[in-house]
Structure 1
């Protein structure tokens, strides 16, 4: 078998147990001693001090093994009993359910609504007719009657649905009038629409919710009951059994009931999370609209009812078919309708030959009581829907103690120490042994400290800056005589002293995060590579931040009240945004976006995934005429208050060169860690002192300022100082605060990136209209019906709009990565058109800036749509379609050079025949 086809698996059980085997450890130790010192050490008996030391170390190792072998819930248990291990993991309801995907998923979602007994989702049929001669679309086939048949086509809009609902019977005591019942049905329909749009799939929409029509069936039966039976109760049960057969009621089950049925947890939690319990998938599948009514089925149901002795006579008839009133064994139900007992149904009861009079009022009371009993049982299903995280007992696995106190007292290194008559030489020997053993004590203390931090290092929400830990050995006599510069009361300082040079925390943190991400079958490898190309040394920190955010948001995030906000990167990856009756703040400047949009943002390190205006910018590049009469470019950066607080120091021949230098400045700023600034200022401030990528300037009057520098440039080069803040500070503390504020601004608030996902299905003309609406369709290209397939511009299509001017989005390698990521993360059946467009605000007139025009048209369209539902604002729809049609991808400017030039000079250049400049 070839190597490539071999399956590589990681064994689940890798623990040998040797760490708990004292005898094994001792024998292994002796083997090493024989190899290392066999020529000078031959006495391996227990009385030998070296063997005693070996035995003590083996015992300490078994202590580590015993702690590692504790139940995982005990290892992860926090010291504070009020806290829980739940915060270290996503619970089952956060990570296992998903947004609705299948028809049954949506049925579960709607059946979970009080008042909905059952429902059935089906495709909404809407035909669009095509005039291939003039490239026109219409809902009305008569619009193209003058066009030859071979130049006419049609297609069905896909992704549109209608819902048929079987509502619960409304109690006459609560809703005595028809108007009241109609109002309640309307309320439930609105709730269904709202629930659907909260869980809408990308490129899909719900058009109609209607009550299922009924097919009346007449049931007549003559039934003999047992002598001691309550005939009214029997009749109530017979009616309920027949009605449930005609239109089954679905039951909700508790988590324990589902487990008792034999379902695994991943099966139980599959699909949307419900509020009333769990629905058995098999029962849901069987609860379809009945296509036929069989007399034999009704007979079996009635005979199963307690108290029924025999069915003397029974018949069924089709009440809708007036010409066929003969008795039948089987009645076919009309498609899309549910069977229902008609008013002509009749039942008679006997005890032996004695006919019985059934009290209808008493029967109604029994039915109500049976319904109440069933509702009480159903209410229990919602109790305990979450899998409980095992509660561990805090074992203090990080506790450490010296092994020296376990040595025989004759060694004089324990609590008792040496006798007062001991010689100075003997005391010195004891101290020497104590110092020697302290090394092992510290190793064990470090292991225990790491074991204590496992719950933080492998948590999905870790914020630890370090990855190596240790702790002080505190229960050792005469510690001060053994070592200096050992902070007994400050474990963080001790960790810094002992392990700081070993702790490459950026690399190790990335490895830990990669491990956690790999558990979800995700990866950041290509993203990491590209970030290092673009951002240099800052990339590692940016990658860590992106991974931490990605992990913390992977499952469904809980709101402060404990409810889920339906925003998980994993389980909402195929969802669309909710446009149904939203407030303006939920349409624009909002996190109410498609699940794929958030997921793409997190996988690509886009910090702000909100739907918002992207054209406004902190950056201004401007043109001026220099002293030589030549047009040149410079740039400013302003902060959140609109104050210019960073400017260029050079003049640039092109805007592109100016922006390249600007973004190099941003990279240099974010490369400098705040710790570097704190340390540099703690050492003292002087004129022209370099602190990270900043150079301090002190004026003759004693005022402070700073420049941003390129430390890779020659000290005397004009490329060394790349930006300057033309502000002055009275003290060095004010200067330090300004530099730290600038670093924080560029790492946290300087955000230019974002994206829009426009679903074409939302741009459809009103499908409920009988008019053709030719002038509201998107343009199509048919080429006389010979090409451009499929013609349909709406079904499962999106346009993804991104700002083409930002630092990373100007990079063609990163664009290629983004385009591949977008196509990979969108559902497989969704086709994307990707456009990198526009300029930042104020660079060109607004009417020439495609991004500004698009943002305005899209915002107005969405605000109109959320208020109108299916109906479209014709003007706003046309405006958006027009700008979408005209979007053009922009590419960075570059300098063409000869392909035979030195390869080292090709970086960032456009080479004819070699450079892939992207695609649409």
Structure 2
């Protein structure tokens, strides 16, 4: 089988530098002239005016190419007071780190806390028993009396963690326990702020010690300082038994051979960087080898030989034949008081001054601490600073022509006749075309910093500038706005510039740099919206890029429930990273955890069988209402969606221009009709321009708020359009992590009704298993909104959710509920779910252990009863006369989503 030996890469340097080669540009230009006009023009010598023009253009292109070749820092630096480079692009410390994800990441996070010498995060084992006869769970199998062995199942909960800490607190410190408790609280707080999705912390323990004794006699060099050698040996052995993890500066990490992205891998720390390879080696030691101890001692300066050595378990005398001591799981070895270190010089015993050796030992430890402190001072790379060089500056090429042409600043001699002056003017007008093209290119180069910026709020993507230093310019053109480059751009690029489409392409480029794309979202949106689709997608991409630091680094993060105020539990952005990413990738405007049942939209039954709708703004004012009545809820809601679409597709620019020119009664502006009441007050209606104005459905909706003048109505109209575009939303999602619903494992006799129910059939051969907690989530979405009631968008959302969830997490997706007021509150699953979920979160947050019994039981009850609502459809006779159908059912295919 053939294999691809060489990887396919894109060359970073794609420049040919032909734009800097004057001779090349001149030669290629002549070749083009010969291919297009060789039958008419054969003189390509330097004296020919056409060649002179070609040379002037080639020279201008080399100037443009030279500016484009400036350092990227210079190209991105604007004049003083403009946006800095750090605001245009993400810096290394913003975009490269990620929140804690792996066990090593968590260790780095906790090692960054003062007082933690080392730490380890390990699984916490909890066994759960299942009654496969009645589908119940318990920690204690004795709660299932008279159960047959074949009906008893069991499983271990996954995703629970225990943290072992080696505290850097002296054993004789009188406040040792208080300090340890304070450090544990910091660890717990930091863990929950960085908690992985579907994981939880159960315990934080001080790592247990296993005493080890070492008896050794060391031969020293004659000039060696025995006190210092003793201190260094003790420090080195201590580092071997319980490794201390060092912090490094950015410079030191780069000198160790790491790439910049490798340096910043993992969470961003306050004290510098940790070498991942060193951290991996600094695990809990499983064995102590005599050979390792010998090597450590021999590496100390001043040591000549190890004369005698033995190791033991501190339980008695050491056995000289012992070469290996096994360390119990989850314990760290410690040098005990029975250890003996003797020294000799030339066979003569040397006595160590214990006090001086201890002072040296403390000095050596202080030097290590000082090195760590120094590492924190050089954490981040400096942002390159450039020089503002005004790369967009342009002067006409006409001033570079020889004076004999008479088109420069000096012009023609006074004796030139009318014919000569006319020819010069014609040439100037001809060259103005090239001047304007070149001026536009230079302007684009100047604005590259804005086009490629993640924080750009550009409304246009084509740029030009006025060519202002041409002699006699006013004789050549009319209505040329020399002092308004924005207006000039609109005039020159009118009909050419689709700024929304071009901005979308630029954002696609920026997204591709992060391996992200919106292609699936764009495709499915075209099924729901008309001309406004591109603008909606554009806003989604802009918002995604602006929040990308959070969306990328927190993609595996769960929400922080630990000791949070109510403001961080409800009506809050304290949600999981997956929820944030799914929201931004699907165009959901608001991902806050909130009451989704409380909507801006209200569909009500005016009388039996007669429906209308209205939309309120954030202050509960009705800003749009139906013009007609409808015989069903579905027809009313479809009319509402159509009215909103007509409104947001109306051009704000056209509305502003129309009102500036002055509007009259019944004037049509896109999908808006200006209305004037009998008393002379202004209001507006939304229309369907595809219908004749005599059709009763021509007027779709109205804003029945009256204004004494057109200016106030214009402000209200624009505000309403922007509200519909950016604020009106019923969409959102809830993600429930099942592991957080488990009962407290420290209470083995917890009754079975506090556990989640299971399907008894899953005890047998089933791919689902009987564990309802480990790495499982329930995702609840409102199934009644415009997009969420469309089966195609649901399929897109379900696929997106599963793509964004970590691969080991299984999701149950439910589309539920109704708007508040549309059904009785007792029958509204969304309202009941929101009430119990909020109640559960508020009760859970301050508790330790983490199990509010009644609130959890009530919430599990509603969670297990949720049922998906599906879009209605109609199965009609294929032989019947063709009529307009919506949401048809197609045999052989299903409208049901994934359960």
CA contact (8 A) 1:705 1:729 kept: yes
Q: Give a deviation string over 1:564-620, Cα, whole Å, max 9, x none.
A: xxxx11121111111111111111111111000000000000011011111111122
Equivalent residue, structure 2, for 1:565: none
Equivalent residue, structure 2, for 1:801: 780
The equivalent position to 1:192 in structure 2, one of 170, 187, 190, is: 187
SS in 2 for 1:886: coil
Equivalent residue, structure 2, for 1:304: 299
Q: Aligned partners of 1:699, 1:531: CA distance in 2, in Å?
A: 38
1:31 is the counterpart of 2:9:
no
Distance 1:324 1:53, change over 3 A: closer
Equivalent residue, structure 2, for 1:457: 451
CA contact (8 A) 1:804 1:836 kept: yes
Equivalent residue, structure 2, for 1:426: 420
**Cα offset for 1:552?**
1.4
Distance 1:598 1:445, change over 3 A: same
Distance 1:396 1:757, change over 3 A: same
Matches within 5 A, 1:584-599: 584-599=566-581
Equivalent residue, structure 1, for 2:601: 619
Equivalent residue, structure 2, for 1:406: 400
Q: Aligned partners of 1:10, 1:718: CA distance in 2, in Å?
A: 60
1:509 is the counterpart of 2:470:
no
Equivalent residue, structure 2, for 1:272: 267
Equivalent residue, structure 1, for 2:761: 783
1:724 is the counterpart of 2:738:
no
Equivalent residue, structure 2, for 1:317: 312
Equivalent residue, structure 1, for 2:142: 142
Distance 1:915 1:301, change over 3 A: closer
Task: Say which is worse superposed, 600-609 or 272-281, in terms of deviation.
Answer: 272-281
CA contact (8 A) 2:762 2:769 kept: no
SS in 2 for 1:893: coil
Distance 1:847 1:219, change over 3 A: same
1:132 is the counterpart of 2:136:
no
**Cα offset for 1:896?**
3.3
Q: Aligned partners of 2:81, 2:710: CA distance in 1, in Å?
A: 46
Matches within 5 A, 1:622-637: 622-625=604-607, 631-637=609-615
Distance 1:469 1:652, change over 3 A: same
Q: Aligned partners of 1:171, 1:826: CA distance in 2, in Å?
A: 45
Task: Say which is worse superposed, 307-316 or 141-150, in terms of deviation.
Answer: 307-316
Q: Which blocks of at least 5 consecutive residues in structure 2 are unaligned?
A: none
Task: Say which is worse superposed, 288-297 or 878-887, in terms of deviation.
Answer: 288-297
Q: Aligned partners of 2:483, 2:683: CA distance in 1, in Å?
A: 40
1:252 is the counterpart of 2:247:
yes
1:602 is the counterpart of 2:584:
yes
Equivalent residue, structure 1, for 2:833: 854
CA contact (8 A) 1:133 1:784 kept: no
Q: Aligned partners of 2:560, 2:473: CA distance in 1, in Å?
A: 66
Equivalent residue, structure 1, for 2:18: 18
Q: Aligned partners of 2:339, 2:389: CA distance in 1, in Å?
A: 71
Q: Give a deviation string over 1:353-376, Cα, whole Å, max 9, x none.
A: 554443333232222211111111
Matches within 5 A, 1:876-891: 876-891=855-870
Equivalent residue, structure 2, for 1:658: 636
Q: Aligned partners of 1:35, 1:774: CA distance in 2, in Å?
A: 89
CA contact (8 A) 1:151 1:784 kept: no
CA contact (8 A) 1:318 1:325 kept: no
SS in 2 for 1:570: helix
SS in 1 for 2:558: coil
1:435 is the counterpart of 2:429:
yes
SS in 1 for 2:165: strand
Q: Aligned partners of 2:762, 2:344: CA distance in 1, in Å?
A: 76
SS in 2 for 1:192: helix
Matches within 5 A, 1:401-800: 401-555=395-549, 568-625=550-607, 631-783=609-761, 785-788=763-766, 789-800=768-779
SS in 2 for 1:705: strand
Q: Aligned partners of 1:309, 1:913: CA distance in 2, in Å?
A: 86
CA contact (8 A) 1:117 1:166 kept: yes
Matches within 5 A, 1:281-360: 281-319=276-314, 321-322=315-316, 328-352=322-346, 354-360=348-354
The equivalent position to 1:812 in structure 2, one of 783, 791, 796, is: 791
Distance 1:3 1:298, change over 3 A: closer
CA contact (8 A) 2:873 2:886 kept: no
Matches within 5 A, 1:209-248: 209-248=204-243
Q: Aligned partners of 2:878, 2:4: CA distance in 1, in Å?
A: 39
CA contact (8 A) 1:229 1:307 kept: yes
Q: Aligned partners of 1:412, 1:37: CA distance in 2, in Å?
A: 26
**Cα offset for 1:98?**
1.6
Q: Aligned partners of 2:402, 2:883: CA distance in 1, in Å?
A: 70
CA contact (8 A) 2:310 2:318 kept: no
Task: Say which is worse superposed, 489-498 or 595-604, in terms of deviation.
Answer: 489-498
Matches within 5 A, 1:82-121: 83-121=83-121
**Cα offset for 1:309?**
3.4
Q: Aligned partners of 2:603, 2:126: CA distance in 1, in Å?
A: 50
1:57 is the counterpart of 2:51:
no
CA contact (8 A) 1:143 1:772 kept: no
Q: Which blocks of at least 5 consecutive residues in structure 1 are unaligned?
A: 556-567
SS in 1 for 2:529: helix
Q: Aligned partners of 1:2, 1:362: CA distance in 2, in Å?
A: 70
Q: Aligned partners of 1:117, 1:510: CA distance in 2, in Å?
A: 50
Q: Aligned partners of 1:456, 1:906: CA distance in 2, in Å?
A: 47
Q: Aligned partners of 2:756, 2:370: CA distance in 1, in Å?
A: 53
SS in 1 for 2:673: strand
Equivalent residue, structure 2, for 1:558: none
Q: Aligned partners of 2:527, 2:878: CA distance in 1, in Å?
A: 23
CA contact (8 A) 2:603 2:613 kept: yes
**Cα offset for 1:351?**
4.1
Query: Normalising by the residue count of structure 1, what TM-score does the alignment of the two structures yield?
Result: 0.94
Q: Give a deviation string over 1:508-529, Cα, whole Å, max 9, x none.
A: 1111111221222221112112
**Cα offset for 1:787?**
4.6
CA contact (8 A) 2:558 2:577 kept: yes
Aligned length: 898
SS in 2 for 1:795: coil
**Cα offset for 1:329?**
2.4
Q: Aligned partners of 1:242, 1:738: CA distance in 2, in Å?
A: 77
SS in 2 for 1:728: strand
SS in 1 for 2:343: strand
Q: Aligned partners of 1:444, 1:667: CA distance in 2, in Å?
A: 41
**Cα offset for 1:11?**
4.5
Q: Give a deviation string over 1:852-890, Cα, whole Å, max 9, x none.
A: 111111111111111103331111001110000110111
Distance 1:372 1:845, change over 3 A: same
